[in-house]
C-alpha cells in the first residue's frame, strides 16, 4: 500500500491550532456555541480536501448519483459518498461537510468489503443435503432454521443451546435487533462477535476508569492539542486521523509527539520521542511516567482531589518505579523515559490513542487504565485538545458494544444492576427474569467452547469468518464441523466458515443496505443504499426480522416482541433503548443525518448537538445507578460486586487503578507454546484472545506474541502472526 | 504453644492449593481463560507458602511434632474431572481449599496478635488479602459457568 502522503501528490494541508478565544468557544456546549457571534471561528480549522477515487476510465461526469455512506474498512468513521453508475459502484468521494474527515478518505475505502467482482457473491440461500450444500429458496432456509431453533428451545435450558457470533460488517440497527432477539426472544446470553477481539480491552479500560464505555475525546482534539501520545498504536494505519496529526505537525505551533511501540512502526519515524519498549512491559513504563509526573509535582492536585479516587494507592505503587528501574524492565534508556515524562508533564493539552501494542499484551487492561490515569492526574479530559482514544479496530466495534451485541447489555447497561435489567424489561415489555442477567454476556471464545462441548447446538454466525480469522483454525474448524452442531452462516461469500454450514444465507454488503455506523469518537453516520444486493441476497436486518417473525417472539401482552420493520424504525427503537444512558441517541434522526455530517452521541432532542467531549467538568459515569460495571480485579477478572462498589462511594469520580508490573507467567521467548492441544498435538497460541474477563487472558497473549515475535520456536511450533490472523478480511 | 502446627497446616494447604491450581490448568486445557489465571494464582500460593517458612522455623522450637493433633490435614482436592460439570466441581473443590487457607490465615493472625508478632501479622494479612481475591475469582468463574453446566448441558 503506498504511503498516504504520496497518494495525494503532496497535497498536504498544514494548519495551526485555533486561538484561545476559539478554544474557549469550543469548550462550550453546542447550544451556547450557536449563540456566539459568527466572527468567532466555530468549526475546525483543518482545511477541507475532498478525495475522490474513481474506477479507471470513469470521470465525475459519468457518475449518475452520489450516495451517502461511511467507510467500511476501519473504525474511524470517515464519511464518504458512493458513486453509482448504471446500478454499479464506480468510486468513492469524501464528504466535505463531515466533522471526522473533512473530505479525506483512505484509498482502501475504494474497495469496500462487498465490491469484489461479479460471480463470487452468494446470491441464493443454501442448505446441506446429504452432506453437500445445495441452493434453495428463502422459505426453505428460514423454516429449517426456525424448526431447529424451536426443537432446541423446547426442553428446559433451551436458551443455552443457541448462540450468535457476529462481525464487523453489521450496522447498528442489525446489531440491536439481533441483541433483542437473543436477549429477550431466546433469552440467551450467548451473543458476541469478532468485534470483541480488538475491543475487549478498550471497553474494559474505559469502564474501569470512567464507569462507562465511550471515548471521552473528539477528533477535533487533534486541532487543539499541544502533545500527542501514541500508545502501542501505529496511527499511520488510521490514515485520515493520522493525516490530521501530520497536518498539525507541519503547521505553526505543532504538537510534540511520543510513540510507544515495540514494532518499527511508521509513527516511530515521525515521533519526537520513540520508546521501543520490550513486549509485555507497558505497565512498568506507565508506572515510571506516572512516577515522574508525581515526583515532579506535575499533577493537577485540585482535579485529582475533586474528581478521582485512589490517588494515595497509585502514589504508593508507582513510587517503586523510578525511570532507572523501568528502563531495565522495558529495555529503553532511562533518559528517553524522562524525556517523554517531560513532554507529558509540561504539555497543556494532550491527546492519547491506544491500540494493539497495549491491548494485546501482558497486563493489557491495567496498562490501558494507566493511560487513563495519566489524563486524570493532569486533568486532561473533557476540554478541547485533551482527550483519550481507546481505539477500536472494526467499523462496527463501537455500536456492537453499545447495542448489546458484544459483551454488555443494550444501552451500555450493567447486568449486575437490577434497575438496569428492569428498564430493559419495561422497554421490551417482557419479564425481567426472561433477560439473562446472572452473569455477563458470554464471550466469544466461551461460545465456541460451549459449542465444542456440545451444549450449544445451534450457532448462527453473521458477517464473520472465524475459521480463517480466529487463532487455532483447526480447532475452530473441528468445532464447526461437528455433526451435533447446527451451523447457520450469513455472509457475502461462501467463506471457509460458510462451507461448513448447514444453512447459508446470502447477505447484502457495504452500500447495499441502509443503516447507521458509530465511529470511534462516537460520531454516528448514516449509510444509504447505493446499489441493490445481487440475486436474492438480503440485508442482515431483513434476515433477523424475518427470523423474529417466523419464531413469533411475543412480549408479555402477546404483541410482537420486535415491532420494527426497517432500518429507520429499528433506529427509533434503539433510540428508546439508549434514552437516559451515557450513549443517548434520542436527538439523532435519519433526517438530521441525511445530507449532513455525522453527529456524536450523547445527543438529546433538547440540545440538537451531540456532546463533543465526555466528562467535561470532571463528572464521570461512576455513580452506582449509572455505571456500566461494578468493577473487576484487573489481574484475574474477579468481580468486586455491588456492595463493594457502593462502599467506595464513587459519586461521579473516576477510578485511578494502581497496578504493579508482573512479568507474564509464561516464559517469554523460550519458544514454549501456551499449551498443547492433546488431540491434534499442535501448540495452541491464542484461544484466549477475547478474555472472559477483562484481563484474564492477557498474560497468555503476551507470551504468545513474544513467542511469535521472538521467533524462537521449539520443535513443531509454527510461529503464527497472531496480529495478522486476528484481522478479518 | 501450637502456633507452628497451624503454620504448618497453612503451609501445606497453600502448597496443595498451588498444585491444585496447576492441576486444574492442566486438566482443562481447552477452557479459554484457565491457563493464565490459574498459573498466576499458583505462583501466588507458592510465594505465600515461602513467606511462611521463616515463621515455621521461628516457632518450631516451642512445639513438639508429637503434639500435632490427629487429622490436622485433610486432603480437599483429588484431581480434575472432565467436562463442564467437572470444571464446576473442580472449581468448587478449589473454593473450599482456598477457604481452608483463608480461615487458617485468620486464626494465625489471631495467634500473631497473641504472640505480639507484628511481622507474622503483616505476612498473614497480605496472604489474606490475596486469598480474598482468589475466592472472588473462583466465585465469579463458577457463577458464570453454573447455568450452562447445570441447566443446559446434557
Domains and CATH numbers, chain A: 4-110 (no CATH), 126-198+396-596 (3.40.50.740), 675-726 (no CATH)
Is A640 in Cβ contact with B37 (below 8 Å)? no
User: Where residue A718 falls among pLDDT bands split at 50, 70, 90?
Assistant: very low
- Give the mean model confidence (pLDDT) for residues A316-330: 95
Q: Which residues of A touch B144 (CB under 8 A)?
A: 439-440, 692
Q: Min CA distance, A18 vs chain B (Å)?
A: 48
Q: Suggest the residue from B30, B45, B88 to mutate for an interface test with chain A (most A CBs closer than 10 A).
A: B30
Task: Retrieve residue B85's grid coordinates.
Answer: 460439570
User: Where residue A116 falls among pLDDT bands split at 50, 70, 90?
Assistant: low
Q: Suggest the residue from A692, A695, A703, A706 to mutate for an interface test with chain B (most B CBs closer than 10 A).
A: A692
A410 interfaces chain B, CB cutoff of 8 Å: no
- Give the mean model confidence (pLDDT) for residues A618-624: 95
Domain ranges, ordered by start, for chain B: 3-62+80-152
pLDDT, residue A708, reads 32
pLDDT, residue A676, reads 34
pLDDT, residue A362, reads 82
- Give the mean model confidence (pLDDT) for residues A712-720: 28
Asked if residue A539 has pLDDT above 80, the reply is yes
Task: Retrieve residue A284's grid coordinates.
Answer: 512498568
Is A449 in Cβ contact with B31 (below 8 Å)? yes
Contact A363, A285 (CB under 8 A): no
Asked if residue A5 has pLDDT above 70, the reply is no
Distance, CA of A134 to CA of A125 (rounded, Å): 8
Q: Among A9-23, A421-435, A552-566, which stretch is predicted with the lowest mean pLDDT? A: A9-23
User: What ipTM goes with this model?
Assistant: 0.91
Q: Suggest the residue from A280, A672, A696, A701 to mutate for an interface test with chain B (most B CBs closer than 10 A).
A: A696
Task: Retrieve residue A170's grid coordinates.
Answer: 453489521
Distance, CA of A674 to CA of A704 (rounded, Å): 7
For A699, which residue in chain B has the nearest alpha carbon? Answer: B36
Q: Which residue among B37, B144, B151 sits closest to A636, beta carbon to beta carbon?
A: B37
**B23 closest CA partner among B127, B74, B93:** B93
Distance, CA of A108 to CA of A78 (rounded, Å): 12
Asked if residue A181 has pLDDT above 70, the reply is yes
Q: Which residue among A640, A665, A693 sits closest to B40, beta carbon to beta carbon?
A: A665
* Contacting B residues, span 85-124, partner chain A, CB-CB under 8 Å: none
B29 interfaces chain A, CB cutoff of 8 Å: yes
Residue A8 half-sphere exposure, CB side, CA atoms within 13 Å? 18
Asked if residue A391 has pLDDT above 90, the reply is no
Contact A504, A133 (CB under 8 A): yes
The CA–CA distances, whole Å, from A243 to A78, A283, A613 equal 12, 29, 21
B133 interfaces chain A, CB cutoff of 8 Å: yes
Averaged confidence pLDDT in chain A = 86
Q: Which residue among B33, B133, B151 sits closest to A157, beta carbon to beta carbon?
A: B151
Distance, CA of A290 to CA of A416 (rounded, Å): 32
For A673, which residue in chain B has the nearest alpha carbon? Answer: B35
Distance, CA of A346 to CA of A535 (rounded, Å): 60
Q: Which residue among B35, B136, B148 sits closest to A688, beta carbon to beta carbon?
A: B35
The phi, psi pair for B27, rounded to 5°, reads -75, -20
pLDDT, residue A707, reads 34
**3-class DSSP state for residue A700?**
helix
Task: Retrieve residue A102's grid coordinates.
Answer: 473533512
User: Where residue A300 falls among pLDDT bands split at 50, 70, 90?
Assistant: very high
pLDDT in tens, A550-576: 999 999 999 999 999 999 999 999 999
pLDDT in tens, A30-75: 777 777 776 666 678 899 999 999 988 899 999 999 999 998 887 8
pLDDT in tens, A475-532: 899 999 999 999 999 999 999 999 999 999 999 998 999 999 999 889 999 999 999 9
Q: Which residues of B touch A159 (CB under 8 A)?
A: 152
Q: In tens digits, what is the pLDDT along chain B, a chain of 154 residues?
A: 889 989 999 999 999 999 999 999 899 988 878 888 898 899 999 999 999 999 999 998 887 766 666 666 666 777 788 889 999 999 999 999 999 999 999 999 999 999 999 999 999 999 999 999 999 999 999 999 999 999 999 8
Q: Which residue among A436, A453, A684 sits closest to B153, beta carbon to beta carbon?
A: A453
**B149 closest CA partner among B93, B87, B84:** B84
Q: Suggest the residue from A155, A638, A644, A706 to mutate for an interface test with chain B (most B CBs closer than 10 A).
A: A638
pLDDT, residue A43, reads 78
For the domain spanning B3-62+80-152, the CATH number is 1.20.1260
pLDDT in tens, A200-250: 888 899 999 999 999 999 999 999 999 999 998 877 777 888 899 999 999
pLDDT, residue B74, reads 65
Percent of chain A's residues with pLDDT above 90: 66
Beta strands in A126-170 (DSSP E): 126-129, 132-135, 162-166
Amino acid at each position: 500500500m503506498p504511503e498516504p502522503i504520496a497518494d495525494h501528490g503532496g497535497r498536504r494541508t498544514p494548519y495551526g491550532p485555533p486561538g484561545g478565544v476559539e478554544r474557549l468557544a469550543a469548550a462550550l456546549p453546542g447550544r451556547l456555541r450557536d449563540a456566539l457571534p459568527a466572527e468567532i471561528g466555530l468549526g475546525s480549522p483543518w482545511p477541507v480536501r475532498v478525495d475522490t477515487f474513481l474506477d479507471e476510465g470513469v470521470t465525475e461526469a459519468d457518475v449518475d448519483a452520489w450516495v451517502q455512506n461511511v467507510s467500511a474498512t476501519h473504525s474511524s468513521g470517515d464519511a464518504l459518498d458512493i458513486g453509482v453508475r448504471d446500478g454499479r459502484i464506480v468510486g468513492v468521494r469524501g464528504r466535505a461537510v463531515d466533522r471526522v474527515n473533512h473530505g479525506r478518505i483512505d484509498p482502501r475505502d475504494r474497495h469496500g468489503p462487498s465490491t469484489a467482482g461479479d460471480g463470487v457473491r452468494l446470491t441464493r440461500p443454501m442448505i446441506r443435503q446429504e452432506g453437500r450444500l445445495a441452493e434453495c429458496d428463502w422459505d426453505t432456509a428460514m423454516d429449517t432454521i426456525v424448526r431447529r431453533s424451536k426443537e432446541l428451545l423446547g426442553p428446559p435450558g433451551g436458551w443455552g443451546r443457541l448462540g450468535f457470533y457476529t462481525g464487523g460488517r453489521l450496522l447498528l440497527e442489525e446489531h440491536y435487533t439481533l441483541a433483542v432477539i437473543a436477549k429477550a426472544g431466546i433469552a440467551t446470553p450467548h451473543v458476541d462477535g469478532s468485534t470483541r477481539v480488538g475491543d475487549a480491552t478498550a471497553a474494559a479500560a474505559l469502564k474501569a476508569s470512567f464507569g462507562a464505555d465511550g471515548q471521552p475525546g473528539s477528533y477535533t482534539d487533534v486541532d487543539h492539542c499541544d502533545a500527542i501520545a501514541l500508545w502501542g498504536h501505529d496511527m499511520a494505519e488510521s490514515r485520515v486521523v493520522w493525516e490530521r496529526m501530520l497536518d498539525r505537525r507541519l503547521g505553526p505551533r505543532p504538537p510534540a509527539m511520543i510513540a510507544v511501540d515495540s514494532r518499527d512502526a511508521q509513527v516511530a519515524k515521525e515521533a519526537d520521542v520513540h520508546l521501543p519498549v520490550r513486549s509485555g512491559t507497558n505497565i512498568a513504563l506507565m508506572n515510571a511516567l506516572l512516577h515522574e509526573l508525581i515526583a515532579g509535582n506535575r499533577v493537577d492536585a485540585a482535579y485529582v482531589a475533586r474528581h478521582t479516587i485512589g490517588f494515595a494507592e497509585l502514589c504508593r505503587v508507582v513510587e517503586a518505579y523510578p525511570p532507572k528501574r523501568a528502563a531495565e524492565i522495558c529495555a529503553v534508556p532511562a533518559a528517553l523515559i524522562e524525556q517523554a515524562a517531560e513532554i507529558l508533564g509540561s504539555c497543556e493539552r494532550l491527546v492519547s490513542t491506544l491500540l494493539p501494542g497495549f491491548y494485546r499484551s501482558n497486563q493489557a487492561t491495567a496498562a490501558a487504565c494507566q493511560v487513563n490515569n495519566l489524563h486524570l492526574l493532569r486533568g486532561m479530559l473533557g476540554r478541547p485538545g485533551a482527550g483519550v482514544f481507546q481505539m477500536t479496530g472494526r467499523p462496527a466495534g463501537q455500536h456492537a458494544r453499545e447495542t448489546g451485541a458484544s459483551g454488555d447489555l443494550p444501552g451500555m447497561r450493567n447486568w449486575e444492576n437490577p434497575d438496569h435489567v428492569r428498564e430493559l424489561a419495561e422497554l421490551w415489555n417482557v419479564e425481567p427474569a426472561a433477560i439473562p442477567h446472572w452473569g455477563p454476556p458470554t464471550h466469544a471464545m466461551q461460545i465456541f467452547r460451549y459449542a465444542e462441548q456440545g451444549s450449544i447446538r445451534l450457532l448462527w454466525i453473521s458477517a464473520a469468518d472465524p475459521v480463517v480469522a480466529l487463532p487455532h483454525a483447526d480447532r475452530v474448524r473441528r468445532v464447526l464441523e461437528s455433526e451435533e452442531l447446527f451451523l447457520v452462516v450469513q455472509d457475502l461469500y461462501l467463506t471457509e466458515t460458510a462451507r461448513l454450514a448447514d444453512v447459508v444465507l446470502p447477505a447484502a454488503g457495504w452500500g447495499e443496505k441502509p443503516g447507521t455506523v458509530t465511529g470511534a469518537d462516537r460520531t454516528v453516520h448514516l449509510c444509504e443504499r447505493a446499489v441493490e444486493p445481487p440475486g436474492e441476497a438480503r440485508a442482515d436486518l431483513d434476515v433477523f426480522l424475518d427470523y423474529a417473525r417466523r419464531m413469533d417472539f411475543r412480549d408479555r401482552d402477546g404483541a410482537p416482541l420486535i415491532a420494527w420493520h426497517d432500518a429507520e424504525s429499528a433506529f427509533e427503537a434503539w433510540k428508546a433503548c439508549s434514552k437516559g444512558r451515557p450513549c443517548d441517541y434520542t436527538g439523532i434522526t435519519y433526517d438530521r443525518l441525511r445530507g449532513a455530517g455525522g453527529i456524536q452521541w450523547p445527543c438529546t432532542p433538547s440540545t440538537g448537538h451531540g456532546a463533543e467531549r465526555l466528562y467535561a467538568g470532571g463528572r464521570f459515569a461512576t455513580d452506582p445507578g449509572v455505571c456500566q460495571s461494578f468493577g473487576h480485579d484487573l489481574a484475574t477478572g474477579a468481580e468486586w460486586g455491588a456492595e463493594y462498589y457502593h462502599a467506595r462511594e464513587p459519586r461521579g469520580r473516576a477510578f485511578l487503578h494502581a497496578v504493579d508490573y508482573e512479568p507474564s507467567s509464561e516464559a517469554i521467548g523460550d519458544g514454549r507454546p501456551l499449551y498443547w492441544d492433546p488431540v491434534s498435538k499442535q501448540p495452541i497460541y491464542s484461544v484466549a484472545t477475547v478474555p472472559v474477563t477483562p484481563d484474564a487472558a492477557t498474560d497468555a497473549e503476551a507470551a504468545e506474541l513474544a513467542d511469535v515475535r521472538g521467533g524462537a520456536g521449539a520443535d513443531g511450533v509454527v510461529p503464527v502472526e497472531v496480529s495478522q490472523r486476528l484481522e478479518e478480511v | 504453644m501450637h502456633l507452628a502446627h497451624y503454620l504448618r497446616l497453612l503451609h501445606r494447604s497453600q502448597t496443595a492449593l498451588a498444585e491444585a491450581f496447576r492441576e486444574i490448568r492442566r486438566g482443562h486445557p481447552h477452557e479459554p481463560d484457565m491457563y493464565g489465571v490459574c498459573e498466576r494464582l499458583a505462583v501466588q500460593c507458592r510465594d505465600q507458602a515461602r513467606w511462611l517458612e521463616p515463621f515455621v522455623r521461628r516457632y518450631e522450637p516451642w512445639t513438639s511434632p508429637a503434639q500435632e493433633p490427629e487429622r490436622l490435614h485433610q486432603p480437599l482436592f483429588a484431581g480434575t474431572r472432565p467436562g463442564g460439570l467437572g470444571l464446576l466441581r473442580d472449581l468448587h473443590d478449589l473454593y473450599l481449599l482456598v477457604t481452608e487457607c483463608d480461615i487458617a490465615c485468620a486464626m494465625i493472625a489471631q495467634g500473631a496478635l497473641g504472640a505480639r508478632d507484628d511481622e507474622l501479622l503483616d505476612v498473614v494479612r497480605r496472604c489474606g488479602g490475596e486469598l480474598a481475591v482468589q475466592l472472588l475469582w473462583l466465585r465469579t468463574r463458577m457463577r458464570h459457568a453454573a447455568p450452562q453446566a447445570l441447566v443446559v448441558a446434557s
